Amino acid sequence: MTGAPLNIALIGSGFMGRAHTLAFAAADRTFDLPRSPRVTILADRDLGTATAAAASLGIARASGDWRETIADASIDMVAIATPNLLHAPIAIAALEAGKAVYCEKPLATTIAESEAMTAAAAASGLPTAVGFTYLYNPMIVLARELIAGGEIGEVTAFRGIHAEDFMASADAPFNWRCEPDQAGGALADIGSHIIAMARHLVGDIAAVSGRLHTVYPMRRDARGADRAVTVDDQMDAVVEFANGATGTLAASWIASGHKMGLAFEVSGTRGSIAFTQERFSELRLYRSGPGRTNGFTTICAGPEHGDYGAFCPAPGHQIGYNDLKTIEVKAVVEAAAGLPSAAMSFADALAVERVTDAIRRSHREGCWIGLQAAWAGASAASISS
Amino acid sequence: MTGAPLNIALIGSGFMGRAHTLAFAAADRTFDLPRSPRVTILADRDLGTATAAAASLGIARASGDWRETIADASIDMVAIATPNLLHAPIAIAALEAGKAVYCEKPLATTIAESEAMTAAAAASGLPTAVGFTYLYNPMIVLARELIAGGEIGEVTAFRGIHAEDFMASADAPFNWRCEPDQAGGALADIGSHIIAMARHLVGDIAAVSGRLHTVYPMRRDARGADRAVTVDDQMDAVVEFANGATGTLAASWIASGHKMGLAFEVSGTRGSIAFTQERFSELRLYRSGPGRTNGFTTICAGPEHGDYGAFCPAPGHQIGYNDLKTIEVKAVVEAAAGLPSAAMSFADALAVERVTDAIRRSHREGCWIGLQAAWAGASAASISS
Amino acid sequence: MTGAPLNIALIGSGFMGRAHTLAFAAADRTFDLPRSPRVTILADRDLGTATAAAASLGIARASGDWRETIADASIDMVAIATPNLLHAPIAIAALEAGKAVYCEKPLATTIAESEAMTAAAAASGLPTAVGFTYLYNPMIVLARELIAGGEIGEVTAFRGIHAEDFMASADAPFNWRCEPDQAGGALADIGSHIIAMARHLVGDIAAVSGRLHTVYPMRRDARGADRAVTVDDQMDAVVEFANGATGTLAASWIASGHKMGLAFEVSGTRGSIAFTQERFSELRLYRSGPGRTNGFTTICAGPEHGDYGAFCPAPGHQIGYNDLKTIEVKAVVEAAAGLPSAAMSFADALAVERVTDAIRRSHREGCWIGLQAAWAGASAASISS
Amino acid sequence: MTGAPLNIALIGSGFMGRAHTLAFAAADRTFDLPRSPRVTILADRDLGTATAAAASLGIARASGDWRETIADASIDMVAIATPNLLHAPIAIAALEAGKAVYCEKPLATTIAESEAMTAAAAASGLPTAVGFTYLYNPMIVLARELIAGGEIGEVTAFRGIHAEDFMASADAPFNWRCEPDQAGGALADIGSHIIAMARHLVGDIAAVSGRLHTVYPMRRDARGADRAVTVDDQMDAVVEFANGATGTLAASWIASGHKMGLAFEVSGTRGSIAFTQERFSELRLYRSGPGRTNGFTTICAGPEHGDYGAFCPAPGHQIGYNDLKTIEVKAVVEAAAGLPSAAMSFADALAVERVTDAIRRSHREGCWIGLQAAWAGASAASISS
């Protein structure tokens, strides 16, 4: 580490605020970062809350006013871990104040806000980052390298799902994730991960035809009141990528039996790659060849892969979810330091949200939604009729 | 076995004709059938071909004229193993002649023909059967029983694929499966299996939105000539079932690494079932419950399951593909004997082909295709917007 | 098929007698055999039993006297499917009468008898065969070829088990498998399969140190009588092979959860092979190499492997247990026809039983038992102290 | 956290010293510990080394003299991360100075030393701890609870291995792990983990019969010199537990394809548990019952299991190897604070080393070695002959 410390203002002291604080510290311990991240101010909705949280998290200063915090000249980057509705105003203000911004996903609760944030980022020329933690997994880094290196030929299909079951029971309570105003629903809440993965590995999505399904139209909230649910419990879509590949995307928080089932298979003309987050230290790779000893090879994560070696010098020992967050934060710090970085930017997050939005529109209108001007739909040359 | 022998005329002496002959003999050896199946006549396109094949297969009589064969008074059932284009005329003539009919899938090469065959079957009141071999697997029988018994609650999703890779290479030659007139393409050729499975386990499909993809628009045939390919190499669709469940269906013969990847997961409000034909003696079952010792249970096929015990008295030994065909033929003989039977009828096959056809139309028209009058589309009450 | 029919006398009409009859017929249908096997006489303990069984199995002649049957000039091979105690007298008499012999495992109930049978076979120069069905699996054929071809380097270890659980419950009844006089116990009954596998893949076993364990010293028989059990419920042994490889062998019929757990891993200096009979259409192969994309590859059985193609032209469809028996019988017929054959001979079976016997002695005497004159034990040069 | 800080002197600043420092900090962040661990002094072989390392690790004081450090009145616990040869003198001196001791495995390089350390611990009445990291895995905690709760009935067998392949190549260099004086060899280095696991889950080992195997008797060291190897590359043993269970233990650092293959299966009269460290967030559990829907259930780690919830509130996200070390250190701190603790004591580590030693003796003498006075060997009542 050679540069000056990277002074960070953290806005929000809930679960994610704590996670950010721990991740910055872990990244600093684990990696040789270009600048040492230091969370120096914690802002929250009032000074009392902020002060208590800052003490607990070992942060020197506290503030009850995020606007004041953002304006602080000592701050290099603003980390946003507030409720989703506040993402846009804070991020835009921070960018206008000349700060790099690291924002939790989703970027915002409407496409318009996300577009405004992305425009503000572009106008400022400042680094931005959004946490799509699963993309930083060394095995996903490997998958991306393999695909980019042509190891599976031309990509022809991507089929993926993000399946969990924390809402599978009729008794699962109504919560903020059930609120459409909070970017709720399985599609937005967890489907965004599989959409981000698809884009990360295969590229832009050109068109979608999707279907939302609310299995439980009524859930009881924590106070015992029946609440109408208008967001989706599960989503299924057919997609076409800009490069011509086709496939399916799905998301479900009622997928009984799945705890962290972010799973996909990418098929190519000369091979395939399969993955599930429930065994995220493994990647299954098939390369075409004579059948006698060919098949899917299960690759086990080790120091050859991405940043694994920063956590353990020997293969097979496994890193954990929090280590993925640590790798994510490393990328954020590198981006904030102006270096080439694997961090997902606001533009990346906006692209994901455009797909989310297109799937919702597709469901509502009962038709395909094109995401790219060039999308020629059913008349595309390489598609048979 | 108590009834009179079941005299069968086999039309067609190719690969499937041989398979039929072996399967009837195997079923007779393996099961206590209501009537003993005997292939007594083999008809083919000319007498010489038929005579040679009959000798090789140990069939007493041969004929070069399928019409004459069907008219033979000694015949109880006609088994059709001809090229797809001949299915309809033979089946309809056989039904009109008062014979039960057992036809290889697909029923026909157009929906109109399939409808005519199904109408003929209904008019005749005679038993019909179509070979969807994979549905007879003891583990699929178990899956169906579990779902029907409410073990996984209300079904909320079915996501399935039939993935193989025999056409994955650009060098895979153009063959009859590439001919649209022969019901070619991945959707028709293998996708019909996953559609049949979905219907078998979840029920009727109400609507589809699908996309076909021809990755190789040109292939070289066996004589070295370049041939345009107009059928699909892969298909992806979103589906909605009549009971409200939603999900995806896919088919691909270019899914690198998959040899017999007929795989699915059915999710319900209280559990899930997962399966892949590549390990068809296993079924994975999840039932909701406290998480401490809960998870997917891998059930290993044994005598408790369907007809497994007819092949082996001990669990875990595994039955093979040919044994599935033997179980299928048992159902065919039971149907022909007028008994309750698990055999898939012409009506079942027609329902599968209607889905196939709807997916093709959906691709062509770029919209959802409803398969049931009742399908209310995007305005369905249980679907959020 | 070019040779004269192979006329077979079957002695014993129980479960295994039926299995033999079906397997000979299946092999004749499936393969192009050098001679067509025909079971022409069935002998059993009395003429009535034999006559009834012959009628049921479609065998032309019946006899109540195995000696007379063996003497029949038309007979080329004698197939023995009697209780184990009769294997030796029948086999020796048959060899003396100039007949090839196919005997179910175990060869006999004592080493002395097995030695006498093997000596009689050697003296006669006639083909013999013993059914170790699992060795004929196309994936085991592949494993053997890979090892012989040096694909995993020098073999350094073999660790295997045959685990089932049909006796796991205290309520599992006393039966003939619990009788020491009938070659009972987990070691003899199922352990022989993993020993045969170890020899088949790695070669002769030089020494063993084993331990037997009778978990249930008393079981109730079918008539409700309590019976003392003196045979083992499970066995564990350390072994050293003649080529220096070391490892473990185990057998258990109380291994809760395992239905057909014949499983092993062979390690070599440049790779490994792993297998379990519960997924016997798969073989897992590791070959040393750079770690970035290396790992165990799961090979799926197909026409490239052994005799798979005789059952199905496409990979991934799976053959079943009865198909393995059919492949075994093909080897038996080839051996009987005087051709090179994969059949296990009496000498092979004797070698397995010597290991079984040595493990029993090792348990009794509490020490290592050498099986080869050359075994130098603890002083072997390549073994550290 | 309510108690006074726990002041720790760390002896040794190599890889393990750093790991200790990080783990103490992580445990303090992650858990609500009874006393807050603070590494306040770092001692190493000379002051310069210690000072540099202390600066890098953020430790306030440095020392070139471990004796002086131990004597420091402010110190509550001594953490030993030195070469193995120094474990005994430091630990004994620390105990005599009234300090709790946390020592890396192995306890020492000879049984005599380990006995002396354990005696010193007993005489002092002070807490001791040894790092068997894998035992702290939430899924192993679950396995132990299930076994203790009788969920799999009486344990009848334990079969386990620790398989890695970092020495599989003839080119793997001679290093300190190849030195017998440093407690080298696969048995001591990694086999100790599977022995500790066996004891942890099943209880004391009563007797062993083992075999060591040095596949590469010569390896080249880092300076290019050929060095004779006298330690084992792999070890296989039959074991009998004090409770009558039997089984096998193996260790190999030449097990091609295995990176962290600490794997076992425990069988009981009513169930089984299977595990591999390469998928350490899963436990496979079988409970006896009707076969129709029974099988091994794959349990996925979540907040219900051990300390998982301290790292992540949702199941399926996975913890990593470093998190296991954090849980270990929590137990160490609890022990040092005089609370009930899951920490492995010197007595536990000695018991493991007695087994290691017995296997070595068994190999050398070519016979069974009893570890308990009560072991009756071959004449045990429950063992058949």
Pairwise CA distance, residues D350 & D295, whole Å = 38
Q: Is the pLDDT of residue D131 over 50?
A: yes
- Phi/psi region, residue D153 (left: phi>0; alpha: psi -120 to 50; beta: rest), is left
Identity of the amino acid at A319: I
CB of C136 within 8 Å of a chain B CB? The answer is no
Kindly list the partner chains of chain C, i.e. chains with 3 or more CB atom pairs below 8 Å. A, B, D
pLDDT value of position D236: 98
Query: CA B88 from chain center: how many Å?
Result: 17
C99–B contact, CB cutoff 8 A = no
User: Region D283-289: what's the mean pLDDT?
Assistant: 97
Q: What is the mean pLDDT of chain B?
A: 94
Which chain B residues are closer than 8 Å to C281 by Cβ? 318
Going by C-alpha positions, the residue among D186, A266, A316, D274 that lies closest to residue C295 is A316
CB contact under 8 A, A213 and B252: no
Q: Do A229 and B384 lie within an 8 Å CB cutoff?
A: yes
Any CB–CB contact under 8 A between D300 and chain A? yes
Q: How confident is the model at residue C376 (pLDDT cuts 50, 70, 90)?
A: low
Query: Please, which residues 251-280 of chain B have a Cβ atom closer than 8 Å to chain A?
Result: 252, 254-258, 267-272, 274
Check residue B189 and report its DSSP letter.
I
Provide DSSP, A322-366. HHHHHHHHHHHHHHHTTS----B-HHHHHHHHHHHHHHHHHHHHT
**What letter would DSSP give residue C191?**
I
pLDDT digits (tens, 9 = 90+) for B287-308: 999 889 999 999 999 999 999 9
Angle B375-B377-B378 (CA atoms, 0-180°, nearest 5)? 155
Q: Give yes or no for residue A383 having a pLDDT over 80.
A: no
Q: Does B236 touch chain C (CB under 8 A)?
A: no
The pLDDT of residue D15 is 83
Residues of A in contact with B244 (CB under 8 A): 213
Instruction: Tell me what pLDDT residue C12 has.
Output: 94
Mean pLDDT is highest, among A3-17, A240-254, D177-191, for A240-254
Sequence-distant (6+) residues with CB within 8 A of A125 are none
Residue A374: which pLDDT band, with cuts at 50, 70 and 90? low
Residue C61 and residue C191: Cα distance in Å, rounded?
A: 37
Q: Give the pLDDT band (50/70/90) at residue B378.
A: very low
- Mutate which: A57, A167, A299, A317, vs D, most D CBs within 10 A: A317
Query: Is residue D184 over pLDDT 70?
Result: yes
Closest Cα in chain B to A259: B295
Beta carbon pairs, C and D, within 8 Å: 197
Mean pLDDT rounded to a whole number for chain D:
94
pLDDT value for A15:
83
Using a CB–CB cutoff of 8 Å, tell me whether A208 touches chain C: no
- D10-34 average pLDDT score: 91
Chain B hits for D304, Cβ within 8 Å = 290-292
- pLDDT band for B16, please (50, 70, 90 cuts): confident
Give pLDDT, residue A2: 65
Average per-residue pLDDT in chain C? 94
Question: Does B302 touch chain D if contact means CB atoms closer than 8 Å?
Answer: yes
Convert the pLDDT of each residue in A146-157 to its tens digit. 999 999 999 999
Q: How far is C112 from chain B (nearest CA, A)?
A: 32
Band of the pLDDT at C375, cuts 50, 70, 90?
confident
A147 contacts in chain B (CB < 8 Å): none
pLDDT at A19 over 60: yes
Confidence of residue B26 (pLDDT cuts 50, 70, 90): very high
> Cβ separation of C322 and B320 shorter than 8 Å?
yes
- Planar angle of CA A93, A94, A99, nearest 5 degrees: 150
Interface test with B, best of D273, D275, D285, D298 (most B CBs within 10 A): D298
Rounded to two decimals, the ipTM of the complex is: 0.95
D295–chain B Cβ distance below 8 A for any pair: yes
Per-residue confidence band for C303, with pLDDT thresholds at 50, 70 and 90: very high
What are the DSSP calls for A185-211, one per residue? SHIIIIIHHHHHHHHHHH--EEEEEEE
pLDDT tens track for A316-360: 999 999 999 999 999 999 999 999 999 999 999 999 999 999 999
| C195-245 pLDDT tens trace | 999 999 999 999 999 999 999 999 999 999 999 999 999 999 999 999 999
Cβ atoms B283, B143 nearer than 8 A: yes
The pLDDT assigned to D177 comes to: 93
- Mean pLDDT computed over D246-273: 98
Name the band, by pLDDT with cuts 50, 70 and 90, for residue D383. Answer: very low
Asked if residue A153 lies in contact with residue B215, where contact means CB atoms within 8 angstroms, the answer is no
- Closest residue, chain B, to A361 (C-alpha): B385
| Cβ-contact A332, A31 below 8 angstroms | no
Share above pLDDT 70 across residues of chain B, in percent, rounded to a whole number: 97
CB of B16 within 8 Å of a chain C CB? The answer is no
pLDDT for residue C385 is more than 60: no
Cβ contact, residue pair C254, D234, below 8 Å: no
| Structure confidence at residue D379 (pLDDT) | 40
Does pLDDT of B196 surpass 60? yes
Give the neighbours of chain A: at least 3 Cβ pairs within 8 Å.
B, C, D
**How far lies C242's CA from each of B128, C239, D214, D250, D255, in Å?**
62, 10, 15, 20, 20
Residues of chain B with Cβ-Cβ distance to C312 below 8 Å are: 320-322
Q: Look at residue D377 in the predicted model and tell me its pLDDT.
A: 62
- pLDDT at site D181: 86
Closest CA to B253 of B173, B365, B162, B314: B162
pLDDT value, residue B383: 33
Structure tokens at B4: 């009179």
- Residue entry with tokens 């009486």: D154
Residue B358, chain D, CB below 8 Å: the answer is no
- Assess A212–C contact: CB distance below 8 Å, yes or no: no
* B11, β-bridge pairs: B43, B80
The predicted-structure confidence for B82-124, as pLDDT tens digits, reads as follows 999 999 999 999 999 999 999 999 999 999 999 999 999 999 9
Report whether A70 contacts A99 (CB < 8 A).
yes
Closest-CA residue of chain D to A310: D322
pLDDT at C183: 84
Q: Does C307 touch chain B (CB under 8 A)?
A: no
Q: What is the pLDDT of residues B28-49, one digit of tens each?
A: 989 999 999 999 999 999 999 9
Contacts of B321 in chain C (CB under 8 A): 311-312, 317-320
Flag if B157 and A270 touch (Cβ within 8 Å): no
Whether residues C269 and D233 touch (CB distance < 8 A) is answered with no
Q: How far apart are CA A203 and CA A67, in angstroms?
A: 37
**CB-CB: which of C278, C316, C323 is closest to B316?**
C278
pLDDT at D376 > cutoff 80? no
CB contact A338 to C (< 8 Å): no
Give me the percent of chain A exceeding a pLDDT of 90: 90
Q: Of the candidates A273, A248, A275, which has an alpha carbon nearest to the alpha carbon of residue A261? A: A275
| C168–D288 C-beta distance less than 8 A | yes
| C296 vs B57, residue with greater confidence | C296
| Residue B212 in this model has a pLDDT that exceeds 90 | yes
**Which chains have 3+ CB pairs within 8 A of D?**
A, B, C
pLDDT band for position D381 (cuts 50, 70, 90): very low
pLDDT surpassing 80 at residue C35? yes
The domains found in chain D, sorted by start residue, are 6-126 (3.40.50.720), 135-319+346-369 (3.30.360.10)
What are the DSSP calls for B88-135, one per residue? HHHHHHHHHTT-EEEEPSSS-SSHHHHHHHHHHHHHHT--EEE--GGG
Q: How far apart are CA C160 and CA A189, in angstroms?
A: 47
Q: Tell whether the model's pLDDT for residue B188 goes beyond 60.
A: yes
- What pLDDT band is residue A182 in, cutting at 50, 70 and 90? confident
Closest to C211 in 3D by CA, of A174, B76, D247: D247
Q: Does A207 touch chain C (CB under 8 A)?
A: no
Interface check for B169 against chain A (CB to CB < 8 A): the answer is: yes
Of the pLDDT bands very low, low, confident and very high (cuts 50, 70, 90), residue B379 is: very low
Residues with Cβ < 8 Å from A57, sequence gap 6 or more?
A13, A17, A18, A21, A39, A42
pLDDT digits (tens, 9 = 90+) for C342-357: 999 999 999 999 999 9
User: Would you say residue D183 has pLDDT above 60?
Assistant: yes
Q: Where are the alpha helices (DSSP H) in chain B?
A: 15-30, 47-57, 66-71, 87-96, 111-124, 138-148, 186, 192-202, 321-336, 346-365
- Three-state SS letters, C113-182: HHHHHHHHHHHHCCCEEECCHHHHCHHHHHHHHHHHCCCCCCEEEEEEEEECCCCCCCCCCECHHHCHHH
Q: What is the pLDDT of residues A187-201, one digit of tens each?
A: 999 999 999 999 999
Contact B295 D295 (CB under 8 A): no
